[in-house]
Chains A and B, each alone.
Chain A
């Protein structure tokens, strides 16, 4: 049965009706129109759906919307609350860290978590942190470079 829930998304309380089985990724995309969060797999591997839950990167396809009630959700659309580009977004643009762009929002959200807790990661640490984000276009090299650039600019 559907039930009303209130989700705190990008600093705004949003109320919507969901079934308990609804995945957070689906609710964000289909009900809250936040389609920057993508879905690229069904086994929690690709990370395209990465958002922040209480400031930490999680895969929104592996969280039920009802589980997220009462917690702070940040999506790619809310990464810079006042608009403009986040340093990571600028760096991805600068370093050609994306091609088709489908994995990019998730990639950036994971990188943001990494840099928030490890401001100057080594290349190996960056690659390790990206284990849960798959990209089929770039070969990762420029993604790593972008994250290094964003880290250097902090």
Chain B
């Protein structure tokens, strides 16, 4: 319950934070990914750099047809943004189920994404929305697609000297429906298996279909099988696509769900998410 000793620095600005970044320094914003590890001493950094109060990392703003979200924006702030909800209803829907009320008040979207928990709810949403993440360091900045960001359990494309500063959401295609379906582990609330779906429709035909999973494997991932829906009306194909998307995936095994059940749940989640998304697109 008591972390090991560390130094704490509240960054005054980004360059302040960059200076301190390094192997034994950890970044903290809301602290809701890191503090649980610190308390069990499963993480023992020398220095914590608090970026949670930096105004330049906060806020939600329109950009082109899409939006930009500061990495230190809390889940609560996401929920309170009417503009975000209007453009990306899926984000609001999923955020409402992240953690609990208190966690949403303090936890930040960037913190959660950088933590890259393989069963977190937000990564598959980022995958289907084709979000991009702005990574900054002393040396400069680069943009990495969400689809190239999640590398493994708790592992991302972030380098030790980099910070995730902004989430960039492209404009969703016209006539798009989005949905998320998941089955929660009763104790932790993390997804045993969850699926996010995005479907765009024109003239009754699917023009774009995206499907991503969480909780199923060692990292959230985009399922290419969803592409089979493009050019079809969807409906009957959805069950097949859901099954195909899960087939061959090495599903996680733990005390809460064995791989067979987890894969089954993922299939059900995929089918439900695709069906709802299609319904919403129409």
A: residues with CB less than 8 A from B are 1, 19-21, 23, 26, 39, 42-45, 47, 50, 53, 56-59, 61-64, 66-67, 69, 110, 113-114, 128-133
Most buried by A among B1, B4, B189: B1
B:68-115 near A, CB below 8 Å: 76, 96, 99-103, 105-106
Q: In whole Å, how far is A45's beta carbon from the nearest beta carbon of chain B?
A: 8
CB–CB B100/A42 < 8 A: no
CB–CB A58/B105 < 8 A: yes
Report Cα–Cα, A39/B188, bound state, in Å.
18
Report Cα–Cα, A45/B96, bound state, in Å.
16
The answer to the question of B32 belonging to the interface, with a C-beta cut-off of 8 Å to chain A, is yes
Report Cα–Cα, A39/B99, bound state, in Å.
18
From B33-41, B127-135, B204-212, B229-237, give the one contacting chain A: B33-41
The answer to the question of B172 belonging to the interface, with a C-beta cut-off of 8 Å to chain A, is no
B:19-70 near A, CB below 8 Å: 28, 31-32, 35-36, 38-40, 48, 50, 52
Q: Which chain A residue shows the least CB distance to B105?
A: A56
Report Cα–Cα, A84/B8, bound state, in Å.
39
Say which residue of A26, A45, A64, A132 sits within 8 Å of B101 (CB atoms).
A132
Task: List 19 other contacts, CB 8 Å, given A21-B5, A62-B102.
Answer: A1-B7, A19-B5, A20-B6, A21-B38, A43-B36, A44-B32, A47-B100, A47-B102, A50-B102, A56-B106, A57-B105, A59-B103, A61-B39, A63-B106, A64-B8, A110-B101, A113-B105, A129-B101, A132-B100
Q: Which chain B residue shows the least CB distance to A58?
A: B106
| A53 / chain B contacts, CB cutoff of 8 Å | 105-106
The answer to the question of B2 belonging to the interface, with a C-beta cut-off of 8 Å to chain A, is yes
Q: Which chain B residue shows the least CB distance to A132?
A: B100
- Contact mask B1-17 → A, CB, 8 Å, 1/0? 11111111010000000
Q: In whole Å, how far is A73's beta carbon from the nearest beta carbon of chain B?
A: 13
Instruction: Count residues of B near A (Cβ-Cβ below 8 Å).
Output: 32
Q: In whole Å, how far is B119's beta carbon from the nearest beta carbon of chain A?
A: 15
Q: In whole Å, how far is B8's beta carbon from the nearest beta carbon of chain A?
A: 3
| A130 / chain B contacts, CB cutoff of 8 Å | 101
| A110 / chain B contacts, CB cutoff of 8 Å | 101-102
Tell me what chain A mostly uses at the interface: helix, strand, loop, or mixed: mixed
| A20 / chain B contacts, CB cutoff of 8 Å | 5-8, 48
CB–CB B35/A62 < 8 A: yes
CB–CB B5/A132 < 8 A: no
Most buried by B among A19, A67, A128, A132: A67
Say which residue of B3, B7, B36 sits within 8 Å of A44 (CB atoms).
B36
CB–CB B35/A64 < 8 A: yes
CB–CB B102/A21 < 8 A: no
Report Cα–Cα, A104/B10, bound state, in Å.
33
| A19 / chain B contacts, CB cutoff of 8 Å | 5
Selected A-B contacts with CB under 8 Å, 17 pairs: A21-B2, A21-B6, A21-B38, A23-B1, A42-B40, A44-B103, A58-B105, A59-B103, A59-B106, A62-B32, A63-B106, A64-B48, A69-B10, A128-B96, A132-B99, A132-B101, A133-B100
CB–CB A59/B102 < 8 A: yes
Q: Which chain B residue shows the least CB distance to A50?
A: B102
CB–CB A57/B101 < 8 A: yes
Report Cα–Cα, A110/B3, bound state, in Å.
26
CB–CB B4/A67 < 8 A: no
Given A56-B76, A57-B101, also A62-B189 (CB < 8 A): no
Q: In whole Å, how far is B198's beta carbon from the nearest beta carbon of chain A?
A: 25
| A39 / chain B contacts, CB cutoff of 8 Å | 1
Given A47-B100, A53-B106, also A67-B31 (CB < 8 A): yes
CB–CB B50/A67 < 8 A: yes
CB–CB B101/A113 < 8 A: yes
